[in-house]
Amino acid sequence: MPARNTRTSISLILISAALVIGALYFLFLVSLISRQFLVDAAYKDPSLPIEERIDDLVSRMTLREKIGQMALVEKNSLPLDDVARYGIGGVLSGAGGKPKENTPEGWRVMIGGYVAASRASRTGIPILYGLDANHGHGNVPDTTIFPHQVGLGAANDTVLAENVARITAKEVRATGAHWIYSPSLDLPTDIRWGRVYEAFSDDPVRAAELGAAVVRGLKSANTVATAKHFVGAGSMTWGSSINQNFSIDQGATYADEYLLRTQYLPPFKRAIEAGVESIMVGLNMWGEHQMSSNRYLITDILKKELGFQGFVVSDWYGAYEISESKYASAVQAINAGIDMVMLPYEYKRFINDVERAIRRGDITKERIDSAVRRILRVKFSSGLFDDAFAMPDLSVIGSPEHRALAREAAARSIVILKNSNVLPILNARKIRVAGSGAHNIGMQTGAWTVEWQGIDGNWLSGATSILAGIQNISKAEVQYALDGRFTEEDIADIGIAIVGEKPYAEGWGDAPLPRLSAADLAAIARLDEAVEKLVIVIISGRPLIITDELSTWDALVAAWLPGSEGVGVADVLFGKKTTSATLPLPWPRTIGQIPFSLEGSSDGTPPLFPRNFRLILDRSH
């Protein structure tokens, strides 16, 4: 009996094994056939019209593949194997999301890995790899760092802005990424906001023209641009932030239809005319509700009224900030019109939730198809599918030509606010330099440079501090003391105090009273004792309150966040280059004047310097 039993069990095992093997073989054949089936698929034919390729591809995609395309995942949360498994549509490096080896080669290898993984998926739909290159490819050391947008706003030159964007895109492409979260079209009305410097100006016309120029520049070097943050970002009310660490960032914009139409929308309209392919919805609220839940603004206005054909992407975790329930939040965001969701973490949950929402009828299949079509349209039209994106050689990164443009941009973004016959400095014998920003590349490049919050200090190779620029250019003897303590007791002809803000990003830069630090004020006071004439250069992301100090200074220069080429600032101080930059936003006299509207200050008093103010340097003094 036992022998018979054993024989029966063996037979059963053999039969089961055969069945399992058979089933696996069957699955293998099915997957092979389905892959095979896609080999000659029409969507792979670059000669066909894009809409035909989209039709063909969408008709072949499974529901889960479609939902996967709508997921934008932060690279540290995404193992390579999951890219194809979940058919992920986009991968991003949030600021600081760098490869282990943070070199241009390291980036190229890392992004190449994600692209290859997506190409190996059943459909072979390439991912879009996105990042914030908002003042050059700031994520990577040794790249060319341009002035932050507020500086380009001051320069107010569309040709310059377009060229800066083109070179930025070239350096980004050299590292393999395709998609840049720029330009910012925010209109900052309150200098207490930590993101003033990411915007061009509070003037919608200036922002619109420069934004369109950046879109053109980014597109010309084969990157996908992103206009952000839709809409009304910059006009939030102080104290309204939903983030407990912040005061105004991620706060509420008053829901005003008149301002919407006359100010907030026009820059986006221009960006759409310039061909922008993606638009990022802000983390601000419109009235009492999260922007990412606003169907009227995203679908009715942006997509239908303005005719935007690209895709709408939500900002970092924004689709989950609508309500307590993650499921309900995602459903609301997608139904409002968000096409790609910057999750940026839990993609498995997102895919399951959206699949469930479709089953339950909370989201329609048509809505999913519409989102996917928009994403695919951008992937096709930008040449991603056909590997048409030429990757420039790595040698373009930080090249002398690129740095020359950054030097030019730094010089052209400088606004001269006061000058009692000191500038340009032509015949000085001895110059003393002081202040926290004189020899601090981290300060002059600001945040979004290698780290989200930037890095204070001199760590960026290939860059030039303003002090080094002065030493290179000036024929005078140049002495430097950060704190303004000079050992010699004589009086030098000129003192240059380079002072300002340490780097900060987003709500971490919200500040109730932006002004110079006590250390900088002390350095200025000491320097003043040791020089005939005092020039103040402010390195900052926004106007600072300097009303009490201004009268004791002979010259004042706003250099914003000039970037890696500090010598551009020295060029202007020493008359090597001229600047015709104007103030891109009013410089307040008091905090009580804030916020400014286009009509003026809140309390009706004049600012210290009005929007568009500038002095032209005269070489004849």
Confirm or reject binding of residue 316 to ligand BGC (CB under 6 A).
yes
Cβ proximity to ligand BGC: between 345 and 613 the closer is 345
Cβ proximity to ligand BGC: between 97 and 435 the closer is 97
User: Catalytic pick from 157, 198, 315, 520?
Assistant: 315
For 12, phi then psi, to 5°, come to -60, -45
- What's the rounded Cα separation, in Å, for the pair 279 and 182? 9
Cβ proximity to ligand BGC: between 229 and 430 the closer is 229
One residue of 132, 157, 171, 203 binding ligand BGC per CB under 6 A: 132
**Minimum distance from CB of 520 to ligand BGC (Å)?**
29
**Minimum distance from CB of 237 to ligand BGC (Å)?**
18
On whether the CB atoms of residues 299 and 237 are closer than 8 A, the answer is no
On whether the CB atoms of residues 342 and 78 are closer than 8 A, the answer is no
State which residue has the least CB distance to ligand BGC.
Answer: 181
**Minimum distance from CB of 315 to ligand BGC (Å)?**
5
Confirm or reject binding of residue 251 to ligand BGC (CB under 6 A).
no
First to last CA, the chain: 117
Cβ proximity to ligand BGC: between 141 and 282 the closer is 282
**Minimum distance from CB of 227 to ligand BGC (Å)?**
11
Instruction: Return the bridge partners of 497, or none.
Output: 434, 536
Structure tokens at 463: 């860059």
Cβ proximity to ligand BGC: between 227 and 546 the closer is 227
Count Cβ neighbours within 10 Å for each residue of 420-459 and write b for 16 or more, e otherwise.
eebbbbeebebbbbbbbbbbbbbbbbbbbbbbbbbbeeee
Which SS3 state, helix, strand or coil, does residue 561 take?
coil
Interactions with ligand BGC, residue window 162-191 (CB under 6 A):
181
Confirm or reject binding of residue 385 to ligand BGC (CB under 6 A).
no
Count Cβ neighbours within 10 Å for each residue of 83-114 and write b for 16 or more, e otherwise.
bbebbbbbbbbbbebbbeeebbeebbebbebb
One residue of 67, 84, 95, 570 binding ligand BGC per CB under 6 A: 95
506 is an active site residue: yes
Cβ proximity to ligand BGC: between 452 and 560 the closer is 452
**Minimum distance from CB of 132 to ligand BGC (Å)?**
5
**Minimum distance from CB of 561 to ligand BGC (Å)?**
16
One residue of 68, 87, 90, 94 binding ligand BGC per CB under 6 A: 94
Length of the chain: 621
Cβ proximity to ligand BGC: between 133 and 438 the closer is 133
- Dihedral over Cα of 52, 53, 57, 58: its sign: negative
What is the CA angle 225-447-310, rounded to 5? Answer: 15
Interactions with ligand BGC, residue window 512-541 (CB under 6 A):
none
Which SS3 state, helix, strand or coil, does residue 337 take?
coil
Confirm or reject binding of residue 246 to ligand BGC (CB under 6 A).
no
315 is an active site residue: yes
Q: Which of 381, 398, 401, 397 is nearest to 389 (CA)?
A: 381
**Minimum distance from CB of 97 to ligand BGC (Å)?**
8
User: Catalytic pick from 162, 506, 528, 565?
Assistant: 506
Cβ proximity to ligand BGC: between 219 and 611 the closer is 219
- What's the rounded Cα separation, in Å, for the pair 66 and 56? 13
Confirm or reject binding of residue 315 to ligand BGC (CB under 6 A).
yes
**Minimum distance from CB of 223 to ligand BGC (Å)?**
14
Number of residues that bind ligand BGC (CB under 6 A): 9
Q: Which residue has the tokens 């000191």?
A: 422
Confirm or reject binding of residue 228 to ligand BGC (CB under 6 A).
yes
Beta strands in 489-598 (DSSP E): 492-500, 531-539, 555-558
On whether the CB atoms of residues 126 and 224 are closer than 8 A, the answer is no
**Minimum distance from CB of 382 to ligand BGC (Å)?**
18
Interactions with ligand BGC, residue window 283-312 (CB under 6 A):
283
Q: Which of 478, 468, 475, 462 is nearest to 406 (CA)?
A: 462
Which SS3 state, helix, strand or coil, does residue 225 take?
strand
On whether the CB atoms of residues 528 and 534 are closer than 8 A, the answer is yes
Cβ proximity to ligand BGC: between 227 and 573 the closer is 227
On whether the CB atoms of residues 500 and 197 are closer than 8 A, the answer is no
Number of Cα atoms under 13 Å in the Cβ half of residue 28: 6
Site of interaction with ligand BGC (CB under 6 A): 94-95, 132, 181, 228, 283, 315-316, 506
Active site residues: 315, 506
